[in-house]
Chains A and B, each alone.
Chain A
Amino acid sequence: NAGVTQTPKFQVLKTGQSMTLQCAQDMNHNSMYWYRQDPGMGLRLIYYSASEGTTDKGEVPNGYRASRLNKREFSLRLESAAPSQTSVYFCASLLGAGIEKLFFGSGTQLSVL
């Protein structure tokens, strides 16, 4: 049972480059999330998808675009990376319907030079 799988685990980009973070869950969960975690800032919500076919902005969506490809997959795209996007990115999924356990992936460490 893989749970939530994020790829890649590490990435170094130059300013202005683009990339897509991939996330897949095999638990048949309805909701999926992208967070970034920075020292002293905690987990900040970038985008979330309450259910298949929906995507909504979180606290810090600028510079990102998220896509719920199907029920399993939720991607996050950086169109033109900036140094301020250097962070650890976590994908998570939630079954919902009263089951409030959020399952996290292992994270992607992204550095933008």
Chain B
Amino acid sequence: QKEVEQDPGPLSVPEGAIVSLNCTYSNSAFQYFMWYRQYSRKGPELLMYTYSSGNKEDGRFTAQVDKSSKYISLFIRDSQPSDSATYLCAARGGSNYKLTFGKGTLLTVNP
């Protein structure tokens, strides 16, 4: 079992929809949680990161971490065709720099 599990999708939604992307993790030592976005044939880019539990909002994007249930979520409001990409969750421990990624979810937002 991978330390970070993510449903690979694919996920297809109409423009303007609210998108929910989710991951679960098994390592209780994880302290930092991140979401990366990867466009086709490009390297991933950081979208958001959260330390420990809680919510973080940045424009149309909200990241949530629930450490009690080991659940990581990313919400995208008013989704746009330009949001079409693969979204990867990632996590690492506080003193351990080993960064583990989920498999990624392919999202398509249709005009």
Mark A residues whose CB is within 8 Å of B. 31, 33, 35, 40-45, 48, 50, 56, 58-59, 90, 92, 94, 96, 98, 100-102, 104-107
Contact = CB atoms under 8 A, between A and B. Distances in A.
Which range contains the number of B residues in contact with the other chain? 20 to 34
Contact of A41 (B51, B90, B96, B103): B103
Contacts of B88: 42-43
A94 B97 contact: yes
B98 A48 contact: yes
A104 B100 contact: no
A42 B43 contact: no
26 contacts: A31-B97, A33-B99, A42-B6, A42-B103, A42-B104, A43-B101, A45-B99, A45-B101, A48-B97, A48-B98, A50-B97, A56-B98, A58-B98, A90-B44, A96-B97, A98-B51, A100-B49, A100-B51, A101-B46, A102-B36, A102-B90, A102-B99, A104-B43, A104-B45, A106-B42, A106-B43
Interface of B: 6, 8, 32, 34, 36, 42-46, 49, 51, 88, 90, 96-104
Contacts of B8: 40, 42
